[in-house]
Amino acid sequence: MSETLQSASRSQAFNPYLPSWEYIPDGEPYVFGDRVYVYGSHDYYNGYVFCMGDYVCWSAPIDHLGDWRYEGVIYPKDADPFNKDRKMCLYAPDVTMGPDGRYYLYYVLDKVSVVSVAVCDTPAGKYEFYGYVHYSDGTRLGERAGDEPQFDPGVLTEEGKTYLYTGFCPRGDRTRSGAMVTVLDADMLTVVESPRIIVPGCEHSEGTGYEGHEYFEAASIRMVGEKYYFIYSSIVMHELCYAVSDKPDRGFAYGGVIVSNCDLHIDSYKPADHPMAYGGNNHGSIVMINKEWYIFYHRHTNGTWYSRQGCAEKIELLPDGRIMQAEMTSCGLNGGPLAGEGEYGAYLACNLFTDTPSVYVGDDRFPKIMQDGRDGDENPGYVGNMKDSATVGFKYFDCKHVTAVSIKTRGYAEGCFEVRTKWDGDALASIPIHNTNVWEEYRAPVTLEDGVHAIYLTYRGGGNASLLSFTLTAGDKCTGK
């Protein structure tokens, strides 16, 4: 079953874009040569804190975004002199190419407030510790009197200088001012311009235009044409916002929300204030691949904050520079809807909810994306803890002559799964299920109009079900099991 679902993922591109058993949040995507590389932190399945693993890298050909390759561990936790005992976690990193053509990895450990740097000759080789960002007198950035703690570095290199963006601004802490930019010399370490605030935190935002979407964490920077786009996670955490300027170190104005990992604000298929997934903190950035722009972000699994997976959506940049908010889908990097037939893993769900709305993850009443085994076991993901009214949604499929829907479930549950093409639409079919401790397949006839559809599966009944996959069958007749 695992091999079937994973091999299918190579012919199409899905969300999450990596295998169902991999947990790489905080994704910073870059195109180097003919491949797109994603650098992020490394969560564990069933982890108890953020970012427990070593840095690993994945890449894909720019013309085949469903074929991701594991590049291996590019930087272990104990490579940093401050962390030889591996007791600290590697928080979200970023990568930039220096003036010397080498690749520089910037990161912050979880218990110190300085920025570490590693270097490599290739995008995804073995990075070696290089040094700490410091002032000309050797004092490390973050340790000089008056410095704010460093966190979540984002980096941009141009004309021999590197712009380093950092900051963490929780609610209630007036000592944290906002997102900072610090300019570094060509050696990639020495500060030549001290930190400057470019986007305010929530304690310093009155009258700035950022109210309600102030900087929280997850600094990232990209250049689009002649403009600089600063991407960040706002104080509500589930959304990635952007600010725009003509200069890399000042003049940023709030632009809007690029993506929310609970789809808040989206009103195209449901009310704008209605959450359609269990959100939490967010981190990512934008990248152009084959002349199309995408936003990379992450979602939460296992009903906790600590097992996050990377997702991506196509975005639209308008001629006036605005970015339209992207809708969460199951087909993010695919370039269009998925094929309207065949078997799809339930872990591809982009919508997950019950009759009780919740913006944030972490309530045992709600369904959750899970896996069997321990972290690293290459077992297919599934949706568990499905109690009465639990709904999983998948978007979108190009359906032609669909005549049946099959599901694979297990668990001590007696009820049925209702099939819809709208989250609040009429049930088009009902698939009865029964108590079982192994995966069983159930099938029911259904008629879908030809066209692009979402698929929603809602459990109604007693007990607690798990959903492994569903199959769309086109062009034949069947009867229910």
Q: What is the pLDDT of residues 187-198, one digit of tens each?
A: 999 999 999 999
How close are the terminal C-alpha atoms of the chain, in Å?
Answer: 20
The number of beta carbons lying within 10 Å of the beta carbon of residue 29 is 25
> In a structure prediction context, what are the per-residue pLDDT tens digits for the chain, which is 481 residues long?
444 454 455 689 999 999 999 999 999 999 999 999 999 999 999 999 999 999 999 999 999 999 999 999 999 999 999 999 999 999 999 999 999 999 999 999 999 999 999 999 999 999 999 999 999 999 999 999 999 999 999 999 999 999 999 999 999 999 999 999 999 999 999 999 999 999 999 999 999 999 999 999 999 999 999 999 999 999 999 999 999 999 999 999 999 999 999 999 999 999 999 999 999 999 999 999 999 999 999 999 999 999 999 999 999 999 999 999 999 999 999 999 999 999 999 999 999 999 999 999 998 999 999 999 999 999 999 999 999 999 999 999 999 999 999 999 999 999 999 999 999 999 999 999 999 999 999 999 999 999 999 999 999 999 999 999 999 999 854 444 4
**CATH number (domain holding residue 393):** 2.60.120.260
Q: Give the residue from 334, 353, 371 where a domain finishes.
A: 334
Can 372 be counted among the known catalytic residues?
Answer: no
Burial class (CB in 10 A: 0-12, 13-18, 19+), 290: exposed
Are β-strands 413-420 and 351-353 bridged in parallel, bridged antiparallel, or unpaired? Answer: unpaired
The residue annotated as part of the active site, out of 80, 94, 152, 217, is 217
The residue annotated as part of the active site, out of 22, 26, 94, 148, is 26
Q: Same domain, yes or no, for 323 and 463?
A: no
Q: Give the residue from 334, 368, 385 where a domain finishes.
A: 334
Q: Same domain, yes or no, for 229 and 376?
A: no
Q: Same domain, yes or no, for 311 and 449?
A: no
pLDDT score at 10: 62
The pTM (predicted TM-score) of the whole model is: 0.96
Q: Same domain, yes or no, for 345 and 456?
A: yes
Q: Same domain, yes or no, for 44 and 6?
A: yes
Within a domain: 480: no
Burial class (CB in 10 A: 0-12, 13-18, 19+), 304: middle
The number of beta carbons lying within 10 Å of the beta carbon of residue 10 is 12
Within a domain: 481: no
User: CA angle, corner 320, sides to 318 and 325, nearest 5?
Assistant: 40
Domain count, the chain: 2
Q: Same domain, yes or no, for 81 and 14?
A: yes
pLDDT in tens, 117-172: 999 999 999 999 999 999 999 999 999 999 999 999 999 999 999 999 999 999 99
Question: Could you tell me which residues come within 8 angstroms of residue 138 by beta carbon, excluding any fewer than 6 positions away?
Answer: none
Q: Same domain, yes or no, for 361 and 385?
A: yes
Q: Give the residue from 334, 359, 387 where a domain finishes.
A: 334
Within a domain: 390: yes
Q: Which residues pair with 119 in a beta bridge?
A: 104, 128
Q: Same domain, yes or no, for 328 and 346?
A: no
Q: Which tokens belong to 56? A: 């690993």
Q: Same domain, yes or no, for 103 and 191?
A: yes
Question: Could you tell me which residues come within 8 angstroms of residue 437 by beta carbon, excluding any fewer than 6 positions away?
Answer: 410, 411, 412
User: CA angle, corner 140, sides to 135 and 146, nearest 5?
Assistant: 85
Q: Which tokens belong to 347? A: 């872990």
Within a domain: 104: yes
**CATH number (domain holding residue 31):** 2.115.10.20
Can 43 be counted among the known catalytic residues?
Answer: no
| Domain range enclosing 44 | 2-334
Within a domain: 442: yes
* Strands (DSSP E) found in 387-450: 391-399, 402-411, 413-420, 429-433, 436-445
- Distance from CA of residue 372 to its chain's centroid? 22
Give the span between the Cα atoms of 347 and 368, in whole angstroms: 9
Within a domain: 139: yes
Residue among 400, 448, 402, 440 at smallest CA distance from 422: 448
Q: Same domain, yes or no, for 328 and 342?
A: no
Rg from Cα positions in the chain: 23
